[in-house]
Amino acid sequence: MAERIGFIGLGIMGKPMSLHLLKTGYPVVVHDLNRPAVDELVAAGATDGGSPRAVAEQTDIVITMLPDSPEVRQVILGPDGVIEGVRAGQAVVDMSTISPITSREVAQALAVKSVTALDAPVSGGQKGAVEATLSIMVGGPSATFERVLPVFQAMGKNIVHIGEEPGSGQVTKTCNQIVVGITIMAVAEALTLARKAGVDVAKVRQALLGGFAQSRILDLHGQRIIDRNFAPGFRIKLHQKDLGIAMASGKAYGVPLLTTGLVHEVLGSLVAQGHQDLDHSGIARFVESLAGLED
């Protein structure tokens, strides 16, 4: 018999992810504070759990997909939370992007009840969630990873078990967001210099893609910058949140992150200017405005 899945958090990511689990044939029990999202999943065949605690009581594997660390702590460890409904042998899988420190706290608290935790943040955005092509970076015990792998495979493609240590998946996601954010900044500075020097920016992108400067960011976001296409995609406010996690992680683990900090502040400036809902390739707008260019 298929494992029963609990799914808490039916936002722009969680909704298509839980729909894929239903389509694959899993019994799914859902919860969200947003009533219409719950109704939509129930119409598609899910059960309304009613509370995080009740979701845990009715399922074998509980998945959470929430905005940030405080929501994960509240839903799993808070009153009427998942931890009040679990029993030994269950697995709790947090697929939110949160602080690795919080992931470790959650894992420790659940271990007391003989429940194993995985942290399994994703990349690939709304498009990846809808198309079931998410990359999933997983931290936690190998046995639990193997058990949950078929569930991951219903939602994603590039699924990597990073390590046994709780939080390993979150650390990897943080590293991903550091590299992506800084690389966008690199491409933005280079293409803005080319533009103000009167050089064909598309030719510069093309030439650079043939050598050491090649990256997916130069390819995709370089093209976005040339096309002035800043429709999300991945929103600036979310990348700002993720680099906030990076800075807190740097502090916790003793790694000064000079460049990450700079890009975090750039994202903060874009939010302050009202650009929070642009795609993160909109970092180019910041560099351009410093150089006196209007969009």
Q: In whole angstroms, how close is the CB of 139 to a copy of itself at the nearest point?
A: 8
157 sits in which H/E element: strand 156-163
Q: In whole angstroms, how close is the CB of 79 to a copy of itself at the nearest point?
A: 31
87: alpha, beta or left? (left if phi > 0; alpha if psi -120 to 50): beta
Per-residue binding string, a copy of itself, 11-50, x by CB under 8 A, is ----------------------------------------
Q: Which residues pair with 30 in a beta bridge?
A: 7, 48
Site for a copy of itself in 228-267 (CB under 8 A): 246, 249-250, 253-260, 262-263, 266
Q: In whole angstroms, how close is the CB of 182 to a copy of itself at the nearest point?
A: 4
Helix (H, G, I), strand (E, B) or coil at 47: strand
173 carries an active-site annotation: yes
| One-letter amino acid for residue 135 of the chain | S
Asked if residue 64 lies in contact with residue 120, where contact means CB atoms within 8 angstroms, the answer is no
Site for a copy of itself in 44-103 (CB under 8 A): 100
**Residues 151, 153, 154, 158, CA torsion sign:** positive
Site for a copy of itself in 110-149 (CB under 8 A): 123-124, 135, 137, 139
Per-residue binding string, a copy of itself, 184-223, x by CB under 8 A, is -xxx-xxxxxx-xxxxx--xx-xxx-xxxxxxxxx-x---
Q: In whole angstroms, how close is the CB of 41 to a copy of itself at the nearest point?
A: 27
Rg (CA), the chain: 20
Asked if residue 52 lies in contact with residue 75, where contact means CB atoms within 8 angstroms, the answer is yes
Q: Which residue in 15, 23, 157, 173 is the catalytic one?
A: 173
Stretch that binds a copy of itself, among 2-10, 41-49, 111-119, 166-174 (CB under 8 A): 166-174
Each residue of 256-275: b (16+ CB within 10 Å) or e?
ebeebeebbebbbbbbeeeb
* Residues acting as catalytic residues: 173
